Structures are given as C-alpha cells and as structure tokens.
C-alpha cells in the first residue's frame, strides 16, 4: 500500500511537470512577447525589445525553461504582466472562491444524485424512466445558459438571491452561502445527473449479482440487501464519479465565475487568456493540475478503503 501511494505520487508529480512543460511550450511558440503585453499597444518595438531583455525572454529557451521550472517548484510564477501583482498571491487569494464553489457543488451533486439514483434503481420502471429523463435533460443543458435562466427567475423575478458577486466567508456564513447558491446549483445539476446515472446502474448491477440471491436465501431483510449490500457496491462507481465531477466542476468554474462575476481561479484564467498574461496562465495551469492530481490521489485512497481487493493487496 505505501508503495502504491508512492507510485501514485510520482505519477502526480510527473503530471504537473507535463502540464507545466506543455504550457511553457505553448507560450513560447507564439508571436506575442511578454514585453509587448506588459507595455501595451502604445509601445515601440525598441521599447518592447528592452522590456523583453529585462524580463529574460531573449535568453536561450533551455535556460529559461530550467529557470522557470526551478521557480515553479517553489510555486513562484513571477509577476502578472497586466496588473504587475505577484501571481502566487493573486492565485491564493482566488483559490478559496473556486474551491468553495466546486466543493459545495460536488457535495450537492453527490447527495442529490445518489438519492435519485437509489430511488431509480429500487423503485420500478416508471421512476427509473423519470430519473433517466431528468438526467438526460440536465446533461444537455449548458451550465452558462442554465445559470442565466436561474438568475432571471431567482434573482430578478423572485429577488431571492443575489445575481452576481461574491461575499467572503469571513463576512458571514449567510451572505457567503447566498452569494454561492446560484453558481453552486447551476454547477451541481449536471453533476447530479451524472452521479444519478452511476448510482442507478451501480445499484441495479449489484442487485442482479449472484450474492444477492445468497443473501435472500438466508432470509436477509430486503432493506439490508438494498441499503447495506447493494448501496455499498454502488458506492465504488459513485465515489469515482464524484471525483471526476469535482475535477470537471473545478475546471468548469471558469464559465460560472464569468457569469456570476466571482473572483476565482477561472476568472484569472480567462483574464490570462484574453490578455496573453503568460505568468498567470502558467500559474493557473500548474495550480489546476495540482488540484486534479490531489483529487485523484484522494480518490484512489478512498477507493482502496471501500474495496477490500485493493486494500488487501
């Protein structure tokens, strides 16, 4: 088991390195230069050249790569080309926003999805069809449109929740939750659909297994068969789906943060992309990859806890 964890960690580090390298290469393959970005439209080519020299852009590629890689290990991505702030500080300010949205959305998707899936598996055909139709529907509705629709009804028509903006946790839990409610619901609906399908098929598959017959043959009560044995079996694919959902939601927050004007990582990525802010771009990629890697690791450990075949290996 420790060997297994070490192996997964090594793969994770490799993945972060790959993400860094890929972005580094992308950034260096463009016609744009950091000097031009930093100085803006009005600068002359000479001024840009001087600025590039100052930023070390004209050094040999390998030197720059080694230098940036060394800094990256210390989570140092340099300064933003646009607002001149330290990238690490900016990102660590933004991380809690994105993390709150995606953690809450994952939790909501997990609870709602599992409940729907279990109901679909256990109740007869009609319920299963209804749940399946709901999830097919939810999977097809783009989150950015759903968000607009929800804003229209809940913020504009009913005036229940704020349409945009973010309120910090330290400013009060109530307003924090209110500011997150719409983005979280918007994100969670698609996730719940995925989880519901996983839970339903996992339960149904488990209930068709031979060992269920064994359990019945010794008079095991039906609730035990459903909610202890089958649900436990279905928990493996559900946990897997939740992990993937967290990753998807974390990435998908770009759109949601844009829609709801939330100061998260996704917004930074968007600014970086529109403004060619290379340090921000590299920082966001490395940080997001790290989140994915950590999520996968947690997921592996959780699966190992749930599955004795992995645990006893």
Partner 1 sequence: MSSIRQAKHQRIPAFLRSWGGVFGAGWLIIMFLASITARWWRPYDVAEQDLIARLQGPSSEYWLGTDAVGRDLFSRVFTAGALPLQASAVMVLVAFGIGLPLILIAAERGGRVEEAIGRFAETIMSLPSTVILLAAIGAIGNRIYPVMMIFGLLVSAALYRILIGVAKSSRQHLYIDAARVDGMGSIRVNLAHVLPSMARPIAVQAAIVYAIGLLIINGLAFLGFGPGEPQPSWGFMIKDASDNIFNSPWMMVPPGVALSLTVMAANALADALAGPLGIPEYTPPKRRRTISASPAQQSEGTDNLALSVRDLSVVVEGGPTLVSGISFDLRQGEVMGLVGESGCGKTMTARSLLGLLPAGVEVSSGSIIWQGRQIAGLPERDTIKIRGREIAMISQEPMVALDPLFSVKSQLTRPLRRFRGVGRREARRIALELLRQVGIVDAERVLRCYPHQLSGGMAQRVAIALALTGSPKLLIADEPTTALDVTVQAEILSLLRALVAETGMSVLLVSHDLGVVADICDRIAVMYSGQVVEAGTVAEVLEDPYHPYTMALLGANPHVADDAPEPERLAAISGSVPPPGNWPEGCRFADRCQFAASECSVAFEPEPAHVDGMSLCIRTGELRRTGAQWAPEHRGAELAVESEAP
Interactions with partner 1, residue window 4-43 (CB under 8 A) = 11-12, 14-15, 18-19, 22-23, 26-27, 29-30, 32
CA–CA dist 167, 181 (Å, integer) = 11
* CB closer to partner 1, 46 vs 201: 201
Q: Are 68 and 266 in contact (CB under 8 A)?
A: no
Stretch that binds partner 1, among 71-79, 82-90, 174-182, 281-289 (CB under 8 A): 281-289
Site for partner 1 in 292-311 (CB under 8 A): 292-293, 296, 306-309
Q: Does 205 bind partner 1 (CB under 8 A)?
A: yes
Stretch that binds partner 1, among 50-58, 62-70, 100-108, 209-217 (CB under 8 A): 209-217
Tokens of 24: 């580094």
Residue 271 Cβ vs partner 1, minimum distance, rounded to whole Å: 10
Selection from 299, 99, 94 nearest residue 184 by Cα: 99
Stretch that binds partner 1, among 38-46, 64-72, 103-111, 124-132 (CB under 8 A): 124-132
Q: Of 73, 137, 168, 172, which lies in the binding site for partner 1, with binding defined by CB under 8 A?
A: 137
Cα→Cα distances 158→94, 161, 164, 166, 256, Å: 30, 8, 15, 20, 21
CA–CA dist 168, 176 (Å, integer) = 6
Stretch that binds partner 1, among 55-63, 73-81, 99-107, 141-149 (CB under 8 A): 141-149
CA–CA dist 234, 216 (Å, integer) = 19
CA–CA dist 69, 196 (Å, integer) = 42
CA–CA dist 120, 204 (Å, integer) = 9
Site for partner 1 in 212-271 (CB under 8 A): 213-222, 229, 232-233, 247, 250-252, 254-255, 258-259, 266, 269-270
Selection from 91, 109, 136, 138 nearest residue 246 by Cα: 109
Stretch that binds partner 1, among 78-86, 105-113, 149-157, 177-185 (CB under 8 A): 149-157
Q: Of 36, 121, 189, 241, which lies in the binding site for partner 1, with binding defined by CB under 8 A?
A: 121
DSSP structure class, residue 79: B
* CB closer to partner 1, 112 vs 282: 282
Q: Are 268 and 213 in contact (CB under 8 A)?
A: no
């Amino acid at each position: 088991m420790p060997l297994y964890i070490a192996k997964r960690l090594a793969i994770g580090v490799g993945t972060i390195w790959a993400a860094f390298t890929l972005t580094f290469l992308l950034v260096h393959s463009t016609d744009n230069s950091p000097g031009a970005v930093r100085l803006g439209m009005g600068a002359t080519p000479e001024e840009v050249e001087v600025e590039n020299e100052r930023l070390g852009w004209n050094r040999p590629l390998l030197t720059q790569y080694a230098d940036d890689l060394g800094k990256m290990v210390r989570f140092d991505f340099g300064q933003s080309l646009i607002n001149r702030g330290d990238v690490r500080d900016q990102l660590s300010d933004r991380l809690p926003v994105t993390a709150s949205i995606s953690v809450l959305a994952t939790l909501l998707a997990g609870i709602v999805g599992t409940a729907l899936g279990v109901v679909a598996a256990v109740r007869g055909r009609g319920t299963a069809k209804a749940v399946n139709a709901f999830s097919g529907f939810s999977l097809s509705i783009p989150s950015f449109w759903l968000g607009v629709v929800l804003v229209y009804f809940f913020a504009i028509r009913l005036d229940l929740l704020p349409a945009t903006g973010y309120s910090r946790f330290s400013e009060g839990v109530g307003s924090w939750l209110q500011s997150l409610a719409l983005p979280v619901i918007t994100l969670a609906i698609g996730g719940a659909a995925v989880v519901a399908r996983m839970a339903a098929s996992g339960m149904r598959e488990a209930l068709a297994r031979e060992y269920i017959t064994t359990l019945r043959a010794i008079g095991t009560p039906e609730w035990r068969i459903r909610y202890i044995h089958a649900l436990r079996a279905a928990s493996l694919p559900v946990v897997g789906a939740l992990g993937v959902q967290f990753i998807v939601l974390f990435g998908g927050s770009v759109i949601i943060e844009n829609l709801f004007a939330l100061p998260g990582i996704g917004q930074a990525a968007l600014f970086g992309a529109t403004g060619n802010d290379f340090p921000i771009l590299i920082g966001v990629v490395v940080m997001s990859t790290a989140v994915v890697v950590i999520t996968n690791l947690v997921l592996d450990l959780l699966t190992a806890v749930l599955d004795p075949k992995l645990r006893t290996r």
